[in-house]
Amino acid sequence: MSKRLEGRIALIMGAGSSQEDNGVSNGQAVALTFAREGATIVAVDLSLAAAEKTASLVREQGGTSIAIAADVSRAEDVKQVVEQATGHYRRIDILHNNVGIEYLGGPVDTPESEWDRVHAVNLKSVFLACKHVIPHMEAQGGGSIINVSSTASLRASTETFLSYSSSKAAVNHVTRVIAAQYAGKQIRCNAVVPGMMATPHVRTLYRHLDDDQFKEVMARRDASCPMGRQGSPWDVANASLFLASDEASYVTGLLLTVDGGRSI
């Protein structure tokens, strides 16, 4: 049986993990899943070590990957990433915008600088990546863009992180507007909207807690999900694989919620 992404070039922004050696992140799971289905992975991360770790995980499993360090909230970095990727491989078939950071706080306790930083990393990065990748997709006759959002974009979440919620809500609408503009060019643009996921990053979010307190938080997170458990990075990866593949060739502008029914 042929692989679902055979011969495709996938550019994954935020392909590393913010908590190495603590399980697989969303970006790593996406990279490994896309590679297993035949894609070549361009792993981009703020941290070169994190990008290289993902690239080496892919290679260990028999895949092909290069690593590039870049701050995807910076126009010059994104331009250079796209130039390097297309310099190596001549095309970009899949753009996966996985970068996301948060600042805990509402309108009163969020400093203006943090509001701006969260929007630059979560939202402007999507704009910049699309700005530089879409011309290549247009020239090659199509492509698939997948933006990673969050159910915090749809409803008030347990944790208050207004800037995160706002930036992800904007990512949803940017996804749909780009989908509408580029459907005629065969460029599909969709979002994966994860709910509560048990990723290594959750430990970063609760870094102020000791290990026992953190275990309690994770148990509470599991219990708050209708299925009695949080999702995993592989759930995000499998949804992304569907959106990247030809099985989704008539799917664009979709906000694909992956939350085990929690936001219903």
Enumerate the β-bridge partners of residue 258.
Answer: 194
Is the CB of 148 or the CB of 170 nearer to ligand NAD?
Answer: 148
- Which of 175, 194, 232, 237 is close enough to bind ligand NAD by CB under 6 A? 194
Residue 164 designated active-site: yes
- Which of 47, 84, 140, 186 is close enough to bind ligand NAD by CB under 6 A? 47
Residue 70 makes CB contacts below 8 A (sequence gap 6+) with: 44, 45, 46, 77, 78, 80, 81
Rounded CA separation 48/181 (Å): 34
CB of 221 to ligand NAD, least distance (A): 8
CB of 153 to ligand NAD, least distance (A): 9
With binding defined as CB under 6 A, does residue 25 bind ligand NAD?
yes
- SS3 sequence of 119-174: HHHHHHHHHHHHHHHHHHHHHHCCEEEEEECCHHHCCCCCCCEHHHHHHHHHHHHH
CB of 171 to ligand NAD, least distance (A): 9
Residue 250 makes CB contacts below 8 A (sequence gap 6+) with: none
Segment lying near ligand NAD (by CB under 6 A), choices 67-75, 180-188, 209-217, 237-245: 67-75
Sheet strand arrangement including 40-45:
65-69, 40-45, 9-13, 94-97, 143-148, 187-194, 255-258
Rounded CA separation 135/158 (Å): 39
CB of 55 to ligand NAD, least distance (A): 13
- Which of 37, 45, 52, 235 is close enough to bind ligand NAD by CB under 6 A? 45
With binding defined as CB under 6 A, does residue 26 bind ligand NAD?
yes
With binding defined as CB under 6 A, does residue 98 bind ligand NAD?
yes
* Active site (catalytic) residues: 164
What are the residues binding ligand NAD (CB under 6 A)? Answer: 14, 16-18, 25-27, 45-47, 50, 70-73, 98-101, 121, 148, 150, 194, 196-197, 199-202
